[in-house]
């Protein structure tokens, strides 16, 4: 049943968000600390176990994969609802502060990626994966 997949996904997300909020309260901040990350780990671990026991059949899987496939359209909707006007209206100081932080961070990516040995690039996308994107 497709809904089982959607429900499992939603449950993982809710539990993850709860952990993130509790961590935020414990740290004394009004923010969710890592909720999405915990939800992802829950989903990966839980579905892996269920799959091994044969309790996560193809139709159930479809419920998760549907939302994964909707990811890019959702991000496009997110882009269309950003406060771009205010970002641009902030003037040169805001722009330089934001861009400076971005440039400094990006420059560190190769340095930090080297920790614990180089990683291989992902294989090129197959035609099927490209069509999905």
Partner 1 sequence: MDIIADVLERNGLLFAFVVVGALMMISGWLSKTLTRGRLQGSAIAIMLGLVLAYFGGINTGGEAGMADIAIFSGLGLMGGAMLRDFAIVATAYGVDLQEIKKAGAAGVLALLAGIVVSFVVGAAVAAAFGYTDPESMATIGSGAATYIVGPVTGTAVGASSEVIALSVAAGLIKAVVVMVGTPMIAPFIGLNNPKSAMAYGGLMGTTSGVAGGLAATDKRLVPYGAMTATFYTGLGCLLGPSIFYFALVGLFG
User: Within positions 45 to 84, which residues make up the interface with partner 1, using CB under 8 A?
Assistant: 45, 47-48, 61, 64-68, 70-84
Distance of CA 15 to the CA centre of its chain: 15
**Length in residues, the chain:** 133
The residue with tokens 């502060």 is 97
Among residues 4, 13, 19, 60, the one that binds partner 1 under rule CB under 8 A: 13
- Candidates 1, 3, 57, 90: give the one binding partner 1 (CB under 8 A): 90
Minimum distance of partner 1 from residue 114's CB (angstroms): 8
> How many angstroms separate the CA atoms of 6 and 66, rounded?
9
Q: Does 127 help bind partner 1 (rule: CB under 8 A)?
A: no
For 91-109, b/e burial (b = at least 16 CB within 10 A) is eeeeeeeeeeeeeeeeeee
**Where in 17-46 is the site for partner 1 (CB under 8 A)?**
17, 20, 23-24, 27-37, 39-41, 43-45
Size of the site for partner 1 (CB under 8 A): 84
Contact between 20 and 38 under an 8 Å Cβ cutoff? The reply is yes
Q: Which of 104, 126, 127, 128 binds partner 1 (CB under 8 A)?
A: 104
């Amino acid at each position: 049943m497709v809904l089982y997949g959607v429900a499992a996904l939603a449950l993982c997300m809710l539990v993850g968000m709860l952990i993130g909020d509790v961590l935020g309260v414990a740290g004394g901040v009004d923010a969710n600390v890592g909720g999405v990350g915990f939800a992802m780990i829950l989903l990966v671990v839980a579905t892996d176990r269920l799959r091994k026991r044969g309790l996560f059949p193809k139709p159930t899987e479809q419920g998760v994969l549907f939302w994964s496939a909707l990811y890019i359209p959702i991000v496009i909707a997110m882009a269309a609802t950003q406060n771009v006007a205010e970002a641009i209206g902030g003037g040169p100081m805001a722009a330089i502060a934001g861009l400076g932080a971005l440039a400094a961070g990006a420059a560190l990516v190769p340095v930090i990626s080297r920790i614990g040995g180089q990683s291989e690039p992902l294989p090129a996308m197959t035609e099927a994966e490209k069509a999905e994107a």
